[in-house]
Structure formats: C-alpha cells, structure tokens
Amino acid sequence: MMSTPLFALLLSVACSPPISPRLACPSCRQALQEKSYRRHLAFCAPDLLDPEGWAAGDCAVVQRHCSRLHRPGSAAARALELRFGFGGKPAVTSQQRLAAEMGWTNRRTRDTIAKFLHAIPPVSEPSDRLQVLYEDASMLVVNKPAGVGVTPEHRWRGGSVLNWVMWHLSRDAAPPQDGRGRGGGGGQRRRGRGGRGGRRTPAPAPEPRPCHRLDLNTSGALVFAKTPEAASALMSQFESRRVRKAYAALCTAPPGESLVEGEICRVDGVQHCERRVCGPGESGQAARTSLVVVADSAAGGEAGSAGAAGGECLLLARPEQGRTHQVRLHCAAAGSPILGDALYGGGEGRGPLQRHGLHALALTLVSPATGAPLEVVAPLADDMRRAALEAGLRMRSAGAGRA
C-alpha cells in the first residue's frame, strides 16, 4: 500500500499547473520562460535574435550609439566592440567568454550590455502624416492614421507613430541657429562617463510614451506623454476609467440594442489577437459599451434609436473600459458588426474603405500640465467619410453630431 506522504506528493504533482517551458539565452545562458525570451534577447543579444536585421542596419545603429555614449578606448567601449564585432571583427557572442577577456564578473558584463542597449532610443522619423491635435508641456494628442502601428516592431527601425512623435519632439528640443534654446531643454549638455576626458553629449529628451493603444487599422485620437511623470498621471486616468472615450464605427447594420454588457475572454489556440464574449459560467474581463446610431440611410430618424432601419449606419460607441477589441466585439454582439472587420463578422472592406471602419473620435481627460479637463476631437478619417457618403448615410435629427 502506498504511503501517505508519497501519495500526497504524487497528488500535488498531478494537480499542479503545467510548468512553462524554459529556454536558455544563447549569450548569457540565463534561463527564461518562452513568453519573455524575445524581449530578453532584444536587450542582451539582438544580433542573435534577428541576424538578418542586424546585418541590414541594426549593427550600424548600435555602433553609432556606442561611439556617442562611450569614450573611444574606454573599458565599456572595448567590451561592446568585442561583444558585437564592430569593424568587421568576429563577435564574442558568449558573455562568459567576454567577461574572461575583459577581466570582469559575469554580472558586470551582463549589466554593461543591457544598460547600453536600453539607452538606445527609438529612431526619430519625419512624416508629413503626423497630425497633432493638441500639445502642452506634458502631453500631446495625435490623429493616428489607419495602417500605422502605435509603436514600431523594432525600436531601431521606425515606421510607427511613436517614431514620428520622436522626430516632432526632437525638433522642438533642438537649439535654433542663433543658439537660443527652444522648448527649454535643447541647449543642456552633460558629461559622458569617460571622466575628465569623457565626451560631452546633448542631454536626451525623455522618450515619449503612448498612454493607450489603438489597433493597427483603427484611426483616431492617440495620447502620448512627454515625461515619465506625465505618463504615470495619464495612464492612471485610463486605468481608473476617468478618461471618456468615443468611437465612430461604420457598421453593416443598426444594432439590436443600445447598451452591450458582456465579459470578454481570450480566444485560445490562434496565432493572431482575438477575443470573444464569454459564455455562461465563464469568467472574463468586465466590459460595457453604449451604442448610438448617428447616421443611416433612413430619412427623419431620431438619433439613438436602435434597429430602426436596415442597411449600413454610423454608430457612436462609448466604451466604459478599454478592453482589447471591446468596441469591435460589442458591435458584433449587438448584431452590428463593423464594416471591413472580417474577424468579427463584418466582411471585407469595400470601395474607399479597405480596413475595418473604426475611428477613435474623441477623448476627454485631464492634462497633467494644467490640471484642467480637456476634450480632443479627431476629424473622421477620410476613407470612412467617403464610404459613408457612398452608402448614402445621413445624420439623424438630434444629438447626432456631438462626440
């Protein structure tokens, strides 16, 4: 007969959750969970994470910032040159071997590399597509175009709204030709780490931080904080639901209800991001969204009545939370899937609208700089406006035009 302690041990093993697979970093050999593996390598061994991207341009970015941040010939510069193989030299990819060559501890080697890679800011990238809706000392709100990510797929490659905002803020911070500072910080300089012979480099402006997210193909109002303090204050407002949000949604049919309440669950076993309304007995994230019809093809209707007419319509959606895909999912749950939202029953885009017809129309929040309430409205995206006109949509008689 099995002893009680052994039986209890086997029972605890059988009932315990499965252990996440662990991977070893090929450079520092640290054991990592699969979900944190790529992020760790981005700040430890970017050359091993993406060899093609490294050869195509990432190496040049890292080498340039090594020259900017560290005095040539310094111990840190030499360690980085050995680790990443600048100048065509073979890279010392093993941090243990690098530590031995430098006469350092493994911890000092690891910390030197990670701190340096974290200090490299995202690239700043000019774009005539950046539309600033509001700006003060603490924040700015921009009108994000559809098809452009909030942040880049890689910090050093650009192609996102964050990179455009970096360029915008760097222009404001740079000293003009006559030497007078603009924006208060452009002329500050600091001494590098090289001691008395260290190079003097301009004090970098704090990296702007997006305070919320919009899907890749969602357009509209997007908030960036200029400082860590402003980011903390703004994100606190979003998390505590003190920010009022309004979305314009071009939908395939009017909703069957004006208020949708349904917890949101993840969809497991899919590569892409997908959500669903939780079934009976399931526990998910609480979510509540109000839906108001503001334009349709019926003449003389009153704004807000649900299901009054068939065909496409323009909704004003007000989510109380900010769950992933909340508006898209709740529109579909109300029988009013968003046009072009194939993931949630809205089919493919058509005519001028070749993406899902969702636009972050308005935000009401408090500016950390002024302490005053602020409402910012982003003009409806041109492709949604043209699609609404082609569909013959007309504004309803009352309350239709205000976000």
The residues annotated with a catalytic role in the active site are 215
| C-alpha–C-alpha distance, residues 225 and 114, integer Å | 25
In DSSP terms, 366 is beta-bridged to 373
Q: Is 377 left (phi over 0), alpha (psi -120 to 50) or beta?
A: beta
Residue 246's SS3 state is strand
Widest CA span of the chain, in angstroms? 91
| C-alpha–C-alpha distance, residues 116 and 83, integer Å | 12
Q: Are strands 373-377 and 394-395 parallel, antiparallel or unpaired?
A: unpaired
| C-alpha–C-alpha distance, residues 280 and 262, integer Å | 10
Cα of first residue to Cα of last residue in the chain, in angstroms, is 72
| C-alpha–C-alpha distance, residues 92 and 239, integer Å | 44
Residue 187's SS3 state is coil
Residues 6+ apart with CB under 8 A from 172: 182, 183
Burial 57-80 (b: 16+ CB within 10 A, else e): ebbebbbebbeebbbeebebbebb
Contacts 24+ apart (CB under 8 A), 209-212: 210/150, 210/151, 210/161, 210/162, 211/139, 211/235, 211/238, 212/238, 212/243, 212/322
Count of residues for the chain? Answer: 403
Q: Are strands 358-366 and 313-319 parallel, antiparallel or unpaired?
A: unpaired
> How distant, in Å, are the alpha carbons of 13, 29, 33, 48 from that of 22?
18, 11, 5, 18
| C-alpha–C-alpha distance, residues 395 and 398, integer Å | 8
The C-alpha angle 65, 70, 74, rounded to 5 degrees, equals 140
| C-alpha–C-alpha distance, residues 47 and 344, integer Å | 38
